[in-house]
Amino acid sequence: MILSLFDLDNTLLDGDSDYSWAQHLIAVGILDAATYEAENERYYRDYQAGRLDIHAFLSFQLAPLARYSLAQLEAWRAEFLESKIKPMILPEAANLVRERLDRGDRVAIITATNAFITRPIADLFGVEHLLATEPEIIAGRYTGKTLGTPCFQSGKILRLEAWLAGLGMRLGDFEESWFFSDSRNDLPLLGAVTHPIAVRPDPVLREHAERAGWPIISLRGED
């Protein structure tokens, strides 16, 4: 069996769903633009630079979920999927995922972005298996906290191992394992699979991929 893993933001999507969700909440007047937008931009720059404090970011990013009912959050999310996410879906990326599903690979999207945002995005790609940072929910409301290990950097390996263990499998059981990602933050997992693929990579990942002889591709058509 072959395992095909896909990062989400700036890999399958032409943009970052985490960042865009906050911008959407600002646009609909839920968050104060003057304060929240600057913080959102700062955390995004830290992520791009590979220095993100994931726990501080999650406290910031999940806090709005705790302020509103699940029904209201889902309504805003539906608007977000239509206005922000669907235009970000890269046709070549969707085709690649479909090819891997059709040939019988075990396919999963593995992302640091929380599951409230990313579960319906994985559904848009037709992917059942999602490994994402899990926000805590109690009595039908989000608490603003996370469950377990954030699915970020080396945490992606831990989350992958736990998922596979639940299936009675290990990474080494697959004849091939593929991981497609754009980000230096995914170097731990890229180094653990048999076929690491750099997708329009950031400068640090590009340098590493070139040095290691990893394939470098784009899913944006014009590149």
Q: Which residues are catalytic?
A: 7, 9
Residues 148 and 32: their CA atoms lie apart, in Å, by 30
CB atoms within 10 A of CB 211: 8
What are residue 51's phi and psi, to 5 degrees?
-120, 20
- DSSP structural state of residue 13: B
Specify the amino acid at residue 51: R
**Structure-block tokens of residue 190:** 């890229």
6: closest CA among 95, 83, 81?
95
- Radius of gyration in angstroms for the set of CA atoms belonging to the chain, rounded to a whole number: 17
Specify the amino acid at residue 118: T
CB atoms within 10 A of CB 40: 23
